[in-house]
Amino acid sequence: MEGERTRAEQAQSRLAKSANRLEQSANQQQDSADRRTELAADRTVLAAERTYAAWVRTGLAALASGIGATALLQGMVPNWMAQATGTVLVIFAGFCFVAGVWRQMLRVSPPRPDAKRLPEWAFVLVNGFLLLVSLAALVGMWLK
């Protein structure tokens, strides 16, 4: 009878240790899942900033191309064609600057990112200035 009791106590002790290890493993998995969620949120924030940078980069390239095309095509094609080409490219540049801010302002809130978002006023300020430069280039092309 006593031998059965000690075996039962040993089995119960092993079962308790096994349950404890299982509980620790479940806690580790939950912590790991939480960390993966935080890292995914950080990637979302950084991807949004890369997308913004791509819009601005494309807008700057279009602005430079519009000004360059107008200057390069003068005397090679009719004047209206050179100005129309430059105008389309500069208008596209303005669109890119507006679209970059619009896309950045969309709120797709990732769950608890560690990465800090850049302030929205900075996007509006920079792209507002670039939009004004685009408009000035457009006016300059047509008044030349």
Domain ranges of the chain: 2-143
**pLDDT of the residue at 1:** 61
- Taking 70 as the pLDDT cut, the residues of the chain under it are 1-5, 24-31, 107-115
**pLDDT of the residue at 133:** 92
**pLDDT of the residue at 63:** 95
**pLDDT of the residue at 26:** 64
Nearest to 101, CA basis, from 59, 41, 43, 133: 59
- Phi-psi domain of 107 (left: phi exceeds 0; alpha: psi -120 through 50; beta: other): beta
**pLDDT of the residue at 69:** 92
What residue type is 137 in one-letter code?
A
HSE-up of residue 37 (Cα within 13 Å, Cβ side): 10
**pLDDT of the residue at 36:** 78
**Under 8 Å between Cβ of 56 and 72:** no
